[in-house]
Structure 1
Amino acid sequence: MAVPDFQSFFLPMLQLSSDGNVHSLKEAYEALANHFKLTDADMLEMLPSGKQAVYKNRIAWARAYLAKALLLESPKRGVFCITERGKELLASKPVTLRVQHLKQYPEFVAFHQQNGGADAKADTNDDSEKIATPEETFEAAYQEMRGNLAAELLSLISANSPAFFEQLVIKLLVRMGYGGSIKDAGMAVGKTGDGGIDGIIKEDKLGLDVIYIQAKRWQGVVGRPEIQKFVGALHGQRAKRGVFITTSSFTRDAEQYVATIDPRVVLIDGNKLVDLMIDYDLGVATIERYDVKRIDSDFFLEG
């Protein structure tokens, strides 16, 4: 099954702690994965950042919410146990437990209001509504904004001249660490009879080797024949490395072709190009920065 929303972990986690013992999050991960019969694929599903498994993130937030309602408590970092209030709730034999049920406790209401009601959608009659954790909501918004930015970048690139695109590619490769400065790093070729090569850039600051570039604003999908022409130009230069960059995309046949040839050729399509521009701050500017922080547990160790 798919990983349940984080509210679905509330009741099973409270039931897990009903023995009165102290449990670790590691125990909860295993026990609740078994409870919901999560597959290996389910447990390998990651947040968009790729830094944490989705099911672990949702279990950790379930514990945090139960703690805010004083149903669980944490004697120390990474562990939890049930409280008297938690035992009383379980004694009422609840069939389900959602955010709206936690709002019977004033401590949770205060927490909910203080945090702007990020899960306000849960305050409905539809108890089965799936609600994302704060990380998931934040990352989903980030990915949406990044996707919109990428689409706008690609549109602006396509609206400019071929010469602008060739220079953009050189600037990007320099920003990525190839060749040193713009002045020393590379040269745009882009002339009739250039043999299918649009640019040359030094692989390193010393210029021990060079990378040949094909940079084309393409209308359709780039197929194997176009890549073969570029490879032929590389052979003519006795080149070992090449990069083919397009605002379009590549056919599967083209991708399979470059995986089996020498010289080494890297294909960068429009989506990858704008992702690199965003990652290396080329053509974009940071308007706001949000730092997501966690407790530094070492700070609180005595002795």
Structure 2
Amino acid sequence: MKNFESMNRSDQEAYLMLPIINELKQLGGQSTSKELKRNVVADDKLIQENVLTSFKKSLSTGRKYLPFNFPFNFAITNLVMAGMLERPKKGTLKLTKKARDFHGTGKELSDQVYEISLPEWYTRSEKNKKEKIALHQIKEVNKSELDIDDGLEEDNWRSTILDALMQLSSAKFELFCRALVKKMNVDIDETIGTKLTGDGGLGGYGYITTDDFRTSRVAIQAKRWSLNNSVSSPEIDKFRGAMDKFRAEFGIFITTSTFTRDAVAASRAGTRVITLIDGDKLLDLIAKFELYVTPKVITTYELDDFFKEKN
């Protein structure tokens, strides 16, 4: 089978349907769309590991976007139309009984889904009255009518921050990562892992105290790598050696890039699991802690029915 990148957009969309259903089953039947997307990428060997940080620039608007979001979101929308998924609330996806009972192949699933969703696409198309029209043509005409959140604004700011991180020097990126880990309640040691040389292979070191007042040593590694250069398992092994040198119970490995699947497996081996923070997770944490960034969009809220119902 072709790898995901070499497929056309429609084939990518159809291919993603089965991994989406299978991952939701593994996640207990319900998940946020972000968690689901990460799991699909992490577990499917046909999908490149860096698709969640591989941004492209729009020729028409000049803004950055994540190409993977389009087939992923269209696959989700088709599954919802076919009654395989539900959206109990914004950003959350839930399997229906119909999906839980499905045990066929990817081709059988996409055929079953399109049998229901294609007529719905036709119904949504007010500008196309012909009996036969290619699915991709319908979508191109009706992009503004799609019931999906393709997150183009989010893609743009995430790409902007990632570009800015890549412009930092190695020393400044390590400083940035120590600041991030400090936000994660790690008390940074100012004497270990603060130099580019002679640090024993560390980008930082600190201590974390649990609610029952037990303190553990935390080793930190930071790699400002290009998106095409994934962190491999030998780097994980090297970091674990540095953890041994400083007797760290925990390890946090941060990169602007991604981790190979072998690196993920290596991080989970042995008695001390290493927490991996790739470029995609790093952007999430930067937004969460507002680390050297300032949000510009005011959050609004929609009232639930509780407030609308008569007393």
Under TM normalisation by the shorter chain, which class is it? Answer: 0.5 to 0.7
Which of 287, 293, 296 lines up with 2:305 in the alignment? 296
Aligned to 1:265: 274
Q: Does 1:44 align with 2:85?
A: yes
CA contact (8 A) 1:46 1:54 kept: no
Distance 1:257 1:146 in 2: 32
Shift of 1:288: 1.9
Aligned to 1:153: 161
Distance 1:134 1:204 in 2: 50
Give the paired residue count: 201
Q: Does 1:171 align with 2:179?
A: yes
Mark the structure with the bigger radius of gyration: 1
Shift of 1:47: 8.8
Which of 194, 203, 218 lines up with 2:199 in the alignment? 194
Aligned to 1:215: 222
Q: Does 1:244 align with 2:253?
A: yes
Q: Secondary structure at the match of 2:180?
A: helix
CA contact (8 A) 1:47 1:54 kept: no
Distance 1:227 1:98 in 2: 47
TM-score computed with the length of structure 1 as normaliser? 0.54
Distance 1:49 1:277 in 2: 22
Aligned to 1:230: 239
Encode CA deviations 1:66-93: one digit per residue, 9 max, x unaligned.
xxxxxxxxxxxxxxxxxxxxxxxxxxxx
Which residues in structure 2 correspond to 1:1-303 (within 5 Å)? 43-44=84-85, 49-53=90-94, 122=126, 125=129, 129=138, 136-137=147-148, 139-140=149-150, 143-175=151-183, 177-179=184-186, 185-187=188-190, 188-204=193-209, 208-219=215-226, 220-297=229-306, 300-302=309-311
Shift of 1:241: 0.3
Q: Secondary structure at the match of 1:275?
A: helix
When residues 48 and 201 of structure 1 are mapped into structure 2, their CA distance, relative to the original with a 3 A threshold, is: farther
Distance 2:244 2:292 in 1: 33
Distance 1:98 1:162 in 2: 49
When residues 210 and 289 of structure 1 are mapped into structure 2, their CA distance, relative to the original with a 3 A threshold, is: same
TM-score computed with the length of structure 2 as normaliser? 0.53
When residues 97 and 153 of structure 1 are mapped into structure 2, their CA distance, relative to the original with a 3 A threshold, is: closer
Question: Match for 2:200: what amino acid?
Answer: G
Encode CA deviations 1:82-137: one digit per residue, 9 max, x unaligned.
xxxxxxxxxxxxxx99999xxxxxxxxxxxxxxxxxx9x74664698465798945
Aligned to 2:67: none
Q: Which runs of 5+ in 1 are unaligned?
A: 3-37, 56-95, 101-118
Distance 1:160 1:242 in 2: 23
When residues 234 and 293 of structure 1 are mapped into structure 2, their CA distance, relative to the original with a 3 A threshold, is: same
CA contact (8 A) 1:245 1:268 kept: yes
Matched-pair identity in %: 30
Distance 2:120 2:279 in 1: 46
Distance 1:168 1:47 in 2: 37
Shift of 1:43: 2.1
When residues 263 and 294 of structure 1 are mapped into structure 2, their CA distance, relative to the original with a 3 A threshold, is: same
Distance 1:255 1:274 in 2: 19
Q: Secondary structure at the match of 1:213?
A: strand
Distance 2:188 2:285 in 1: 18
When residues 298 and 154 of structure 1 are mapped into structure 2, their CA distance, relative to the original with a 3 A threshold, is: closer
Q: Secondary structure at the match of 1:243?
A: strand
When residues 272 and 132 of structure 1 are mapped into structure 2, their CA distance, relative to the original with a 3 A threshold, is: same
Question: Match for 1:43: what amino acid?
Answer: M
